[in-house]
Amino acid sequence: MKEGQRLWTRDELIIAINRYYKIPFGRLHSRNPDIIHLSKLIDRTPNAVALKLVNFASLDPSLQSRGIKGAANVSKLDREIWNEFNNNREVLVFESEVLLAQYSDTTVEALNHINELDLPKEEKTRKQIIEARVNQAFFRTTILASYNNTCCITGLQQPELLIASHIVPWSVDESNRLNPRNGIALNPLHDKAFELGYLTFTPDYYINISPVLLNNTHNSFVNLFHKYHNQKMILPSRFLPDLNFLLYHNTKTFRY
């Protein structure tokens, strides 16, 4: 270690992973305002923060599968915290948001724009609702960042009109609720159709429209689906949909 440098702490690394998930892959550089802001919070240089996020990229299986190696100077602690975060997202995502709030001198509710007037007074229920909302917001931000704020079917690039859809529903697989490979970015119309099984994605990432819609030739509305049938979905820059999740949707949800 160079003179004057200090070791990264566990808390700093957890916050850095939080930011790694939320920042589009192509923007992991020291000029990014989000990285500059984080560097001020933890009293490190933007370059140091950017390099740490690139270190995490080298540990990301979704990038490794595409031949993207990232940095070569990953520390033992980097690897340990990466594995801890990704093996226990339900706990570590919320912890990372609490740490961010502490470093920002605010509350986790304020950081995530949760109106405290909407929360119940009973402490246990209140905590459960806050955790659920914080985790859901994290998942949404992660998915939109992965897809560069783009609907994977239509190419619509308007974040306010996009939904982070679960491939395997939130209620079905608790362990993968926050897994970014269990999410895709969709506009509201195609999100609802996906949820109800009127469209799916094949394991080689093609759009498959249900015959229920394709055979309904009496409704011109169906053209909003028909024209995308057998088209390649717009792929994310990282966190490709997991093939097992797609197969689940193909077999359990899709209307043949």
| DSSP-derived secondary structure letter, 106 | S
Helix or strand or coil: residue 113?
coil
Residue type, 47: N
Count of beta carbons in the 10 Å neighbourhood of residue 256:
10
Which range has the worst mean pLDDT, 4-8, 13-17, 127-131, 221-225?
4-8
| DSSP-derived secondary structure letter, 174 | G
In angstroms, the CA 33 to CA 13 distance is 19
Terminus-to-terminus CA distance in the chain, angstroms?
Answer: 60
Between 253 and 67, where is the model more confident?
253
pLDDT higher than 60, residue 169? yes
Give the mean pLDDT of 199-218.
92
Look at residue 65 in the predicted model and tell me its pLDDT. 72
Give the mean pLDDT of 198-220.
91
Q: pLDDT for 41-90, tens place per residue? A: 999 999 999 999 999 998 988 787 777 766 667 889 999 999 999 999 99
In angstroms, the CA 181 to CA 240 distance is 6
Model confidence at 4, pLDDT cuts 50, 70, 90, reads low
- Give the H/E segment covering residue 164: strand 163-166
Residue 242 CA to chain centroid, in angstroms? 13
pLDDT higher than 60, residue 3? no
Look at residue 72 in the predicted model and tell me its pLDDT. 65
Q: Are 151 and 183 in contact (CB under 8 A)?
A: no
Q: Mean pLDDT score of the chain, rounded to an integer?
A: 92
Q: pLDDT for 10-35, tens place per residue? A: 999 999 999 999 999 999 999 999 99
Q: Where are the domains of the chain?
A: 10-144, 148-252
Q: pLDDT for 121-140, tens place per residue? A: 888 898 999 999 999 999 99
Q: Tokens standing for 122?
A: 């009973």
Look at residue 2 in the predicted model and tell me its pLDDT. 57
